[in-house]
Amino acid sequence: MRSFALLLALTACSQKPDVVVYCSLDQVHAEPILALFELQTGLKVEAHFDVERNKTVGLVNRLLAEASQPYADVYWNNEVAHTIRLKRAGLTAPYQSPSAADIPPSFKDPQHHWAGFAARARVLLAHEKATQLPHFIQDIGQSSATSAGAMAAPLTGTTLTHMAVWADIHTPNFVFAWLQTALDSPLSIAGGNADAMRRVCEGDVPWCLTDTDDAAAAIANGYPVEMHYLGQSQSQPGVLVIPNTICLIADGPHPEAAKSFIDFALSRQVEEHLAAGRSRQIPLRPHVPTPPTMQIPGKQFLPMAVDWEEVATQLENILPRLQQLFTS
Amino acid sequence: MSKACIQLRNGHKSFGETKVLCGVNFDLNPGERASICGPSGAGKSTLLRILAGLDPMDQGDLEIWGKPAHKIPPWERDLQFVFQDLGLWPSRTVLQHLADVLQNQGYSGKESKQMAGDSLKRLSLFDLASNKPHQLSGGEARRLAFARALIQKPKILLLDEPFASLDSDAKSLSQSWLAEILQQSDAAVVLVTHDETETHTLGGKILHLRQGVLHSA
Amino acid sequence: MKRLKLSLRKATPWYLLAFLLTGIMAWLPLSPVLSAFGNGWVIQDLLDPRTLGLLGNTVALATKASVLAIGLGLPLAILATRTNVLGHHFLRLCIPLPLFVPPLLLAQAWHGFSGADSALMAAICLGLSYAPLPALFAARALRRQSPSSHQAALLAGGPKSALREMVRLALPGACLGTAFAFLFIASDFAVPDYFATVGEKFSVYAGEVFNQFRDQNWRQGARAAAPLLALGLAILGLAWFVDCKFGNPQGGKVTTPQRLQLQKWHPLLQIIFSLFAWLAIGLLVLIPIGQLIWESGAAGPLAEGSWLQRSQTAFADAFTRGRGDFLRSLQTGLGAGAICFFLAPMWARFLIQVKGWKKAFLLVLLALPLLTPAMGLGIGAIVIFNQDWLRPFYAGPWLPILIFAGRFLPIAIFLTYERMRTVPSSQEEAATLAGASFLRRIFRYRMGGEIKVIWLGAAMVAVFSIRELDLAILLPAANASVAVRYFNALHFARDQFVAAFGCLMTLLLFLPYMISSSFQSSHE
Q: State ipTM.
A: 0.84
Cβ contact, residue pair C436, B100, below 8 Å: yes
Q: How many CB pairs under 8 A join A and C?
A: 178
Asked whether residue B160 is assigned to any structural domain, the reply reads yes
Cβ contact, residue pair C434, B104, below 8 Å: yes
**Are B159 and B141 within one domain?**
no
How far does B53 lie from chain C, in Å, by closest CA? 9
Say what angle helices C398-420 and C356-371 make with each other, to 10 degrees.
140
- Which chain A residue's Cα is nearest to C392? A13
* Cα dihedral value C380, C383, C387, C392, nearest 10: 40
Contact present, B and C (at least 3 Cβ pairs less than 8 Å): yes
Rg, Å, chain C Cα set: 23
Cβ contact, residue pair B87, C521, below 8 Å: no
Q: What is the pLDDT of residues C100-142, one digit of tens each?
A: 778 877 887 887 787 777 788 889 989 999 999 999 889 888 8
**Are B73 and B24 within one domain?**
yes
Cβ contact, residue pair C484, A49, below 8 Å: yes
Q: Judge contact between B22 and B8, C-beta under 8 A.
A: no
Looking at the DSSP assignment, which residues form a beta bridge with residue A77?
Answer: A245
Handedness of CA C483, C486, C489, C493 (dihedral sign): negative
Query: b vs e for C346-366, b when ≥16 Cβ sit within 10 Å of the residue's Cβ?
Result: bbbbbbbeeeeeeeeeebeeb
Contact present, A and B (at least 3 Cβ pairs less than 8 Å): no
In residues, how long is chain B?
A: 217
Q: Which helix (H) or strand (E) holds A216?
A: helix A212-220
Cβ contact, residue pair C435, B104, below 8 Å: yes
**Residue A86: burial class (beta carbons within 10 Å; 0-12, 13-18, 19+):** buried
Asked whether residue B84 is assigned to any structural domain, the reply reads no
Q: Round the average pLDDT of chain C to a whole number and report it.
A: 83
Cβ contact, residue pair C426, B100, below 8 Å: no
- CATH number of the domain at C1-31+308-524, please? 1.10.3720.10
Cβ contact, residue pair C473, A195, below 8 Å: no
Q: Of B130, B153, B176, which residue is a domain's last?
A: B153
Q: Judge contact between B102 and B112, C-beta under 8 A.
A: yes
Rounded distance, CA C333 to CA C460, Å? Answer: 9
Domain C54-295: which CATH number of 1.10.3720.10, 2.60.120.10, 1.10.10.60, 1.20.120.80: 1.10.3720.10
Does residue C199 register a pLDDT over 50?
no
- Give the total number of structural domains in chain B: 2
Interface test with C, best of A13, A54, A85, A223 (most C CBs within 10 A): A54
Rounded distance, CA C252 to CA C248, Å? Answer: 12
Looking at the DSSP assignment, which residues form a beta bridge with residue A127?
Answer: A225
Rounded distance, CA B68 to CA C142, Å? Answer: 47
Cβ contact, residue pair A223, C301, below 8 Å: yes
**Are B11 and B70 within one domain?**
yes
Q: Beta-carbon neighbour count of residue A213 at 10 Å?
A: 28
Contact present, A and C (at least 3 Cβ pairs less than 8 Å): yes
Q: Judge contact between C231 and C185, C-beta under 8 A.
A: no
Rounded distance, CA C103 to CA C486, Å? Answer: 13
Asked whether residue B59 is assigned to any structural domain, the reply reads yes
**Ordered strands of the B156-160 beta sheet:** B79-82, B156-160, B188-193, B33-37, B205-210, B213-216
Predicted local distance difference test score (pLDDT) of residue C197? 54
Nearest CB to A221 within list C213, C218, C493: C493
pTM of the model: 0.86
**Are B180 and B217 within one domain?**
yes
Say what angle helices C49-82 and C147-186 make with each other, to 10 degrees.
150
User: Which regions of chain B are under pLDDT 70?
Assistant: 1-2
Looking at the DSSP assignment, which residues form a beta bridge with residue B207?
Answer: B36, B216
Interface test with C, best of A48, A50, A147 (most C CBs within 10 A): A48
Rounded distance, CA C183 to CA C205, Å? Answer: 12
- Residue B138's domain comprises 89-153
Nearest CB to C386 within list A69, A195, A222: A69
Q: Which helix (H) or strand (E) holds A210?
A: strand A207-211
Rounded distance, CA A286 to CA C271, Å? Answer: 71
Q: Which domains does chain A have, with CATH numbers?
A: 17-119+242-294 (3.40.190.10), 120-240+313-326 (3.40.190.10)
Q: Which residues contact B172 (CB under 8 A, 6 or more apart)?
A: none
| CA distance readout (Å), A269 to A120, A212, A256, A290, C52 | 17, 20, 21, 11, 53
Q: Of B153, B172, B195, which residue is a domain's last?
A: B153
Q: What is the pLDDT of residues C389-429, one digit of tens each?
A: 999 999 999 999 999 999 999 999 988 998 898 899 999 99
List Cβ<8 Å contacts ≥24 apart for C230-237: C231/C55, C231/C58, C231/C59, C231/C186, C232/C182, C232/C183, C232/C186, C232/C187, C232/C367, C232/C370, C232/C371, C233/C364, C233/C367, C233/C371, C235/C179, C235/C182, C235/C183, C236/C179, C236/C180, C236/C183, C236/C367, C236/C371, C237/C360, C237/C363
- SS3 of A296, please? coil
Residue (of A203, A244, A55, A47) closest to C491 by Cα position: A55
Cβ contact, residue pair C426, B87, below 8 Å: yes
Asked whether residue B83 is assigned to any structural domain, the reply reads no
Nearest CB to C433 within list B74, B86, B89: B74
Interface test with C, best of B104, B135, B151, B161 (most C CBs within 10 A): B104
Q: Of B133, B153, B173, which residue is a domain's last?
A: B153
Cβ contact, residue pair B83, C426, below 8 Å: yes
Rounded distance, CA C522 to CA B197, Å? Answer: 42
Predicted local distance difference test score (pLDDT) of residue C251? 52
What are the pLDDT tens digits along chain A (328 aa)? 444 444 444 444 457 899 999 999 889 889 999 999 999 999 999 999 987 555 446 788 889 889 999 999 999 999 998 899 899 999 999 999 999 999 999 999 999 999 999 999 999 999 998 988 999 999 999 998 899 999 998 988 899 999 999 999 999 999 999 999 999 999 988 878 888 888 898 888 999 999 999 899 888 878 899 999 999 998 888 999 999 999 999 999 999 999 999 999 999 999 999 999 888 999 999 889 999 889 999 888 999 999 999 999 999 899 889 988 886 6
Examine domains C1-31+308-524 and C54-295 and report if their fold is the same: yes
Predicted local distance difference test score (pLDDT) of residue C201? 57
Q: Judge contact between B142 and B125, C-beta under 8 A.
A: no
**Least confidently predicted of A65-79, B111-125, C203-217, C300-314:** C203-217
How far does A98 lie from chain C, in Å, by closest CA? 30
**Residue C323: burial class (beta carbons within 10 Å; 0-12, 13-18, 19+):** exposed
Q: Judge contact between B159 and B179, C-beta under 8 A.
A: no
Cβ contact, residue pair B91, C451, below 8 Å: yes
**Least confidently predicted of A46-60, B36-50, C15-29, C195-209:** C195-209
Q: Judge contact between C233 and C364, C-beta under 8 A.
A: yes
Predicted local distance difference test score (pLDDT) of residue C198? 43
Pure H helices in C187-217: 190-195, 205-214
| CA distance readout (Å), A155 to A57, A123, A200 | 11, 18, 21
**Are B182 and B144 within one domain?**
no
Rounded distance, CA A67 to CA A60, Å? Answer: 10
DSSP-assigned letters across all residues of C378-441: HHHHHHHH--GGGHHHHHSTHHHHHHHHHHHHHHHHHHHHHHHTTS-HHHHHHHHHTT--HHHI
Interface test with B, best of C426, C428, C447 (most B CBs within 10 A): C426
Chains within contact range of chain C (3+ C-beta pairs < 8 Å): A, B
Cβ contact, residue pair C301, A222, below 8 Å: yes
Rounded distance, CA A191 to CA A184, Å? Answer: 17
Longest dimension (CA), chain A: 73
Cβ contact, residue pair A214, C396, below 8 Å: no
Predicted local distance difference test score (pLDDT) of residue C302? 62
3-class SS letters over B72-134: CCHHHCCEEEECCCCCCCCCCCHHHHHHHHHHHCCCCHHHHHHHHHHHHHHCCCHHHCCCCHH
Cβ contact, residue pair C401, A11, below 8 Å: yes
Say what angle helices B168-183 and B138-150 make with each other, to 10 degrees.
20
Q: How many CB pairs under 8 A join B and C?
A: 71
**Are B125 and B209 within one domain?**
no
Task: Provide, for chain C, the percentages of residues in helix, strand and coil under a 3-state DSSP scheme, each rounded to the nearest 5.
Answer: 80, 0, 20
- Which chain B residue's Cα is nearest to C446? B89
**Are B101 and B196 within one domain?**
no
Asked whether residue B39 is assigned to any structural domain, the reply reads yes
Chains within contact range of chain A (3+ C-beta pairs < 8 Å): C
Cβ contact, residue pair A61, C338, below 8 Å: no
Residue (of A306, A313, A319, A266) closest to A87 by Cα position: A313
Q: Judge contact between C409 and C348, C-beta under 8 A.
A: no
Q: Which helix (H) or strand (E) holds A33?
A: helix A27-41
User: H helices then E strands: how many in chain C?
Assistant: 27, 0
Q: What is the pLDDT of residues B116-167, one digit of tens each?
A: 999 999 888 899 999 999 899 888 898 899 999 999 889 999 999 988 877 8
How far does B87 lie from chain C, in Å, by closest CA? 4
**Are B52 and B103 within one domain?**
no
Cβ contact, residue pair B91, C433, below 8 Å: no
Rounded distance, CA A320 to CA C212, Å? Answer: 9
For residue C452, name the pLDDT band (cuts at 50, 70, 90): confident
More confident of the two residues C242 and C383: C383
Nearest CB to B90 within list C252, C433, C434: C252
Pure H helices in chain B: 44-52, 94-104, 109-122, 138-150, 168-183
Rounded distance, CA C36 to CA A239, Å? Answer: 43
For residue C355, name the pLDDT band (cuts at 50, 70, 90): confident
**Are B149 and B161 within one domain?**
no
Cβ contact, residue pair C434, B85, below 8 Å: no
CATH number at residue B174: 3.40.50.300
Nearest CB to C197 within list A85, A189, A327: A189
Nearest CB to A52 within list C208, C395, C491: C491
In chain C, what are the domain boundaries? 1-31+308-524, 54-295
**Are B63 and B110 within one domain?**
no
- SS3 of B24, please? strand
B10: left (phi over 0), alpha (psi -120 to 50) or beta: left
**Angle at the Cα of A33 (from A27 to A36), degrees rounded to 5?**
135
Chain C residues within an 8 Å CB radius of A278: 492
Chain C residues within an 8 Å CB radius of B89: 427, 430-431, 444-445, 448-449
How far does C488 lie from chain A, in Å, by closest CA? 5
Residue (of C348, C366, C365, C486) closest to C418 by Cα position: C348
- SS3 of C205, please? helix
Chain C residues within an 8 Å CB radius of B76: 6
More confident of the two residues B19 and C55: B19
Q: Judge contact between C124 and C311, C-beta under 8 A.
A: no
**Are B69 and B163 within one domain?**
yes
**Are B67 and B97 within one domain?**
no
